[in-house]
Amino acid sequence: MRLILLGAPGAGKGTQAEYLSKRFSIPHISTGDILRENVKNETELGKKAKEYMDKGLLVPDEIVIEIVKDRLSKEDCKNGFLLDGFPRTIAQAEALDKVLQELGQKIDKVLNIEVPDEKILERMSGRRICKNCGASFHVIYRPPQKEGVCDVCGGELYQREDDKEETVKKRLEVYHAQTQPLIDYYKAKGLLVVAYGQEEIADTTKEVLKALGIE
């Protein structure tokens, strides 16, 4: 099973990726993670990427693609993989097609987890984190017993910058602008399947398996 996973921030992609990775015994490959790993291990590609990351710049496509190619050629990807966070653009998608061709592989399905923006906004802007122990709460779905106070350690709860409503709206705008062309690209290739994110994780998993044709 060779999968690409798409989904807006807050759509529950990470949780489903973890499940699919275990269920099919395939590695969950997040480009962010492999970039950081290469930087940490000071590989040649990692050193190149670090120059850009240190300046707060996006790592150029050719470096990201080389890093992805290197990861996909590893032994544990022989029976499949799950790509998360890559490709982000049509140029990256086309480059990935070439890389897979060289490796004698091809993508089986591109899974898009769809959740309405207003639901994501509610999910993310309602999150509260404990400053002391890092426990997570939600003003609607998992409210603390006492407002602003952590049930676990009594620490102060706060809202992270990237969970603030304006930030979430901006992130969603960027995501849609970036991802719509990709959705169209894979739809045209007949690879796109859609799972509709539900309130409960287990219900989303059922939708995911149905979309992949696994009941």
Is residue 27 in some structural domain? Answer: yes
Say how many C-beta atoms besides its own lie within 10 A of residue 181's C-beta: 12
Nearest 10 degrees: Cα torsion 79, 21, 115, 209: 70
What are the structure tokens assigned to 51, written together? 């120059």
Which range among 60-64, 67-71, 155-159, 168-172 has the greatest average pLDDT? 155-159
Is residue 148 in some structural domain? Answer: no
Active site residue 160: yes
Is residue 150 in some structural domain? Answer: no
Nearest to 184 by CA among 110, 95, 102: 110
Is residue 60 in some structural domain? Answer: yes
Count structural domains, the chain. Answer: 1
Q: What is the CA radius of gyration of the chain?
A: 19
Residue 154: helix, strand or coil by DSSP? coil
Identify the DSSP state of 58.
Answer: P
Of the residues 131, 160, 164, 206, which is catalytic?
Answer: 160
Is residue 127 in some structural domain? Answer: no
Is residue 171 in some structural domain? Answer: no
Query: pLDDT category, 10, cuts 50, 70, 90?
Result: confident
Is residue 193 in some structural domain? Answer: yes
Active site residue 13: yes
Tell me the residue range of the domain where 185 lies: 2-116+179-212
Q: What is the pLDDT of residue 60?
A: 87
Residue 85: helix, strand or coil by DSSP? coil
Active site residue 123: no
What tens digit of pLDDT does each residue of 67-103 get? 999 999 999 999 999 999 899 889 999 999 999 999 9
Of the residues 2, 88, 119, 169, which is catalytic?
Answer: 88
Q: What is the pLDDT of residue 85?
A: 84
What are the structure tokens assigned to 196, written together? 């509709």
What tens digit of pLDDT does each residue of 114-147 get? 999 999 999 999 999 999 999 999 999 999 999 9
Is residue 151 in some structural domain? Answer: no
CATH number of the domain that 198 lies in? 3.40.50.300
Active site residue 88: yes
Active site residue 128: no
From CA 22, how far away is CA 144, in angstroms rounded? 32
